[in-house]
Amino acid sequence: MTGDAGTARMPAVFIGHGSPMNAIDNNRFTDTWRAFGAGVARPRAILVISAHWYINASAVTAMAQPRTIHDFYGFPQELFATRYSAPGDPQLAAEVAEIAKPTWVGLDEDSWGIDHGAWSVLVHAFPDADIPVVQLSINALKPFSYHLDLAARLAPLRDSGVLIMASGNVVHNLARINWEAPDSAFDWTRRFDERARGVMTTAPHDLVGLETDDDFPMAAPTPDHFIPLLYLAGLAAAQGRPADVLVEGYAMGSLSMTSYTLGARPVHSGGVGGSPRLPHVPADETSM
Contact assessment for residue 184 and residue 252, using Cβ atoms and an 8 Å cutoff: yes
Between residues 279 and 22, which one has the greater pLDDT?
A: 22
pTM assigned to the model: 0.92
For the cut 80, the answer to whether the pLDDT of residue 276 exceeds it is: no
For the cut 70, the answer to whether the pLDDT of residue 283 exceeds it is: no
Q: What is the mean pLDDT of the chain?
A: 91
Report the DSSP beta bridge partners of residue 46.
Answer: 133, 163
For the cut 60, the answer to whether the pLDDT of residue 273 exceeds it is: no
Q: Under 8 Å CB-to-CB from 6, ≥6 apart: which residues?
A: none
**pLDDT given at position 73:** 67
CA distance 117 to 187: 26
pLDDT digit string, tens, across residues 200-243: 999 999 999 999 999 999 999 999 999 999 999 999 999 999 99
Angle between helices 227-239 and 144-154 in degrees, nearest 10: 50
Arithmetic mean of pLDDT, 124-146: 98
Q: How far is CA 283 from CA 26, 51, 218, 252, in A?
A: 22, 16, 15, 11
1 confidence band (pLDDT: 50, 70, 90):
very low
For the cut 90, the answer to whether the pLDDT of residue 179 exceeds it is: no
| Least-confidence region, from 8-22, 74-88, 131-145, 234-248 | 74-88
279 confidence band (pLDDT: 50, 70, 90):
low
* Domains identified in the chain and CATH numbers: 12-285 (3.40.830.10)
Contact assessment for residue 154 and residue 235, using Cβ atoms and an 8 Å cutoff: yes
Contacts 24+ apart (CB under 8 A), 65-71: 66/112, 66/113, 66/114, 66/133, 66/135, 67/113, 67/114, 68/113, 68/114, 68/119, 69/112, 69/113, 69/114, 69/115, 69/116, 70/116, 71/115, 71/116, 71/287
**pLDDT given at position 108:** 96
CA distance 144 to 148: 6
